[in-house]
Amino acid sequence: MLRRVAANVAVNSWKGNIFELDHKLIMARQLHARRIEGIDKNIWVDFTQLAADYKGHPPLVSILAKFFGKVVGHEINAFEEILVTVGAYQALFCTFQALVDEDDEVIIIEPFFDCYQPMVKMAGGKGVYVPLRPRVKGGKALTSADWVLSSEELASKFNPRTKAIVINTPNNPLGKVYKREELQVIADLCIKHDVVCISDEVYEWLTYDDAKHVKIASLPGMWERTVTIGSGGKSFSATGWKVGWAIGAGPIVRHLKTVHQNSVYHCATAAQEAVAQGFQREYELFGTPESYFLQLPEMLNHKRKKLATCLESVGLQPILPEGGYFMISDISSLKVDLNDPSTQGEPHDYRFVKWLIKEKGLATIPVSAFYSPEHRKDFQNYIRFCFVKEDSTLNAAEDILRKWSDGK
């Protein structure tokens, strides 16, 4: 359990009330991985920081602290509680390397972004997998909201060896946006078992219809045990910039910084400045029609509906995503000749995707690739489409599917 040393709490709202939370928390277990012991000191970090103290705060971490502090309802220390990385990918790598020790168990919710599994393994940890399962309504699952966790199954995976749980919301490839009640179940288990939550939220601004993104770090008792992963490239549709970040309590983030300063060490200044400018503008316009974070999902919602309509018209069964820019579709009703000897023994969706590329010129991704070997066989009747494309590209895909459906 966490032991609270000191606390001073007041209230906050986005509209500008002052919120202060000044506390230190200590985990009963050892937080960091043993591999980083004794390498936390770095002469370049020490003296660069000393110089920075006399020149003011760097723009990016300052605006991230200001912006996300109001989102989570917690004042964030720009220097101590934010690590800027080369994309969200490196933020994840630093997190696993810093916190996961040999033989630690890490619960990974499926379907999962493919890097979680090897990163846990590289850190010496063991992945423990719990799948979201479709809750059938009227004969079929209609949206990503119909894919849910079994609270009993999830609880059964926690034990004294469990160090962390990894969630992705909105989820890639499913598009699920976790509801507050679902996050609370995860939070309660994390607190009960003294476990860190690694929350990958790179698609946080892409939600549709009535879905609302909730940061698990904002729930009671979770700030001090959550690492929130974000992406400037995903936020501003400029993935080539490779600017990501990890946000969390100082006692956690300082261990991530140890890994960062002994690997990549620095991120491109120009890209950081560009992201800082973007967030500064969003800070001023947040909640207004001019906000890019509101305009982007509105634009992509049109493409989402267009793709779903297209898939339905040719007999596919799309799972309408609540967030992100991917859409999975059930292919179990399609009967095609998959007798290519080069694909024998592969999962059904792998074989189908290869057939679709070779025979129809349409590229998709097999969804079972986002599952562990133990659960892959249960989810090999789905493929993933991407709808963050030019309309001309979506039209071309639609043309391929229609010609196929018409037997041409």
Instruction: Please write the tens of the pLDDT for every residue from 140-176.
Output: 668 999 999 999 999 999 999 999 999 999 999 999 9
Average pLDDT for the chain: 88
% of the chain at pLDDT higher than 70: 87
Residue-wise pLDDT for 15-61, tens only, equals 333 333 444 455 667 888 777 676 666 655 555 554 444 337 499 99
pLDDT category, 7, cuts 50, 70, 90? very low
315 vs 147, 309, 334, CA distance in Å? 21, 10, 8
**CATH superfamily of the domain spanning 292-405:** Aspartate Aminotransferase, domain 1 (3.90.1150.10)
Residue-wise pLDDT for 62-93, tens only, equals 999 999 999 998 899 999 999 999 999 999 99
Residue-wise pLDDT for 353-407, tens only, equals 999 999 899 999 999 999 999 999 999 999 999 999 999 999 999 999 888 877 7
Residues near 57 by Cβ (< 8 Å), separated by ≥ 6? 78, 79
What is the secondary structure of 238-276 as a DSSP string? -GGG--EEEE--HHHHHHHHHHHHTTT----HHHHHHHH
Residue 5 phi, psi (nearest 5): -90, -45
Q: Judge whether residue 3 has pLDDT over 60.
A: no
Q: Judge whether residue 312 has pLDDT over 70.
A: yes
Q: How much is the average pLDDT of 227-231?
A: 98
Position 106 scores a pLDDT of 98
Position 10 scores a pLDDT of 33
Q: Judge whether residue 209 has pLDDT over 50.
A: yes
Q: Judge whether residue 340 has pLDDT over 50.
A: yes
Q: Judge whether residue 216 has pLDDT over 90.
A: yes
Q: How far is Cα of residue 325 from the mean position of the Cα atoms in its chain?
A: 13
Domain extents in the chain: 2-285, 292-405
Helix, strand, or coil (residue 230): strand
Sign of CA dihedral 170, 23, 18, 67: negative
Position 141 scores a pLDDT of 63
Contact call for residues 234 and 202 (beta carbons, < 8 A): yes
- The reply to whether 2-285 and 292-405 are identical in fold is no
Position 18 scores a pLDDT of 32
Give the class (CATH, top level) of 2-285: alpha beta
Residue with tokens 């985990």: 27
Position 193 scores a pLDDT of 97
pLDDT category, 248, cuts 50, 70, 90? very high
What is the secondary structure of 74-122 as a DSSP string? S---TTTSEEEESHHHHHHHHHHHHHPPTT-EEEEEES--TTHHHHHHH
Position 9 scores a pLDDT of 33
Position 14 scores a pLDDT of 42
